[in-house]
Amino acid sequence: MALGQPTVGDEELAAVAEVLRSGWLAGAGPACAEFERRFATAVGTGHALATANCGSALQLGLTVLGVRPGDEVIVGDYTFPATGHAVLHAGATPVFADVSPDTWCADPAAIETLVGPRTVGILAVDVAGQPGDFDAYRAIADRHGLWLFEDAACSAGATYRARPAGSLADLAAFSFHGRKGITAGEGGALVGDRADLIEHARRLHSYGIEPAISREGAEGLPIPVFSEAGHNFRMSEVQAAIMTVQLDRLPALLAARRAVAKRYHEAFADLDGVEPPAELPDREHAWQSYLLTIDPALGRDAVALYLRERGVQCTFGTYASHLQPVYGPQPSLPVSARAFASQVAIPLHANLTEQQVDRVIATVRDAVAASGRTQE
């Protein structure tokens, strides 16, 4: 049984066919422009830029925010290392903050202790699809004159105090990887309210010049001038067409994921040795992943092996970034390290049937029972 699975069909095929017939397949064309317009509206921001992936959106965002070598950026620790990598690619140093034990998002108290003379901003991650405490993050940022950047890779459709994920910071970056709630296989977006930042990122995502669509219909022969070095971080037109259809599907996909999460909550609430994830009452979770915390006495790896041997795909939660050697020696962050050592992600996607959910639940309960017997 698949850990994650995209929901695609005839509508996506029709959208791709329309792009193929149009003759414009390269990135940053009319399909991208339409998706950007609609995605900005969906996440409550003034502007959006479609990108090759979330990593490129993060890197572009840090660049236009002015991050330079020698700067420090505070990063929520429990995250796929693309977050910390983006800081490294900007020439700066990621300073990892330990996380709250309920959401596994950056702990505001931990962030406060890390602000120093070289700190320029806070990069806060919506772990597994649930935003952290962005009002507290904003208060810290404002108090110290820092920018705030939301890594919303997992959280399209999530909310924090009735505000959409993506609208909670100066900039936000999304992922449309195959395991996300809406997907084109790959892809990403950078969103925000400041037109100057998004337009600067738009130039940088096309090698440092305005995309070709900006010259459509111009008189004469406009020749772009390169004033700074950029990248090819563009989303293709095919991906953008798929993403526009996926955006239409988003409410139904979220409802399906939330229904599965509710079933899991009910099934695992009384299961000794297993802690279901928390959804805080002032938030709506996007449920990109459902992470169970397994008591060390049972052994997370033993539970995972049992599931896999019986055809139920699973994986670890995500990374305690400070433990990855690419970042060099780091101070201990115990909450994040415990989550890294004890969490397992079980199947969660919009295509799961009731029978499949029943099977996952039964197999998890059997795995816990078997691990408990092994420890006796």
Q: Which residues are catalytic?
A: 180
Q: Residue 304: which of 222, 219, 67, 312 has the closest Cα?
A: 312
- How far apart CA 153 and CA 226 sit, in angstroms, is 30
Cα–Cα separations (whole angstroms), residue 214 to 22, 29, 180: 17, 9, 31
Torsion of CA 313, 128, 27, 92, to 10 degrees: -120
Q: Is 27 helix (H, G, I), strand (E, B) or coil?
A: coil
By residue count, the chain amounts to 376
* 8 Å CB contact between 121 and 76: no
Q: Is 124 helix (H, G, I), strand (E, B) or coil?
A: strand
- How far apart CA 266 and CA 214 sit, in angstroms, is 52
The DSSP bridge partners found for residue 290 are 346
- How far apart CA 260 and CA 154 sit, in angstroms, is 17
Q: Residue 246: which of 173, 143, 350, 92 has the closest Cα?
A: 350
268-302 burial: b if 16+ Cβ within 10 Å, else e:
beeeebbbbbebbeebbbbbbbbbbbbbeebbbeb
Q: Is 78 helix (H, G, I), strand (E, B) or coil?
A: strand
- How far apart CA 12 and CA 320 sit, in angstroms, is 36
φ and ψ of 211, to 5 deg: -60, 160
- How far apart CA 324 and CA 346 sit, in angstroms, is 24
- How far apart CA 83 and CA 270 sit, in angstroms, is 35
DSSP state of 153: T
Instruction: Give the pairing of strands 72-76 and 274-275.
Output: unpaired
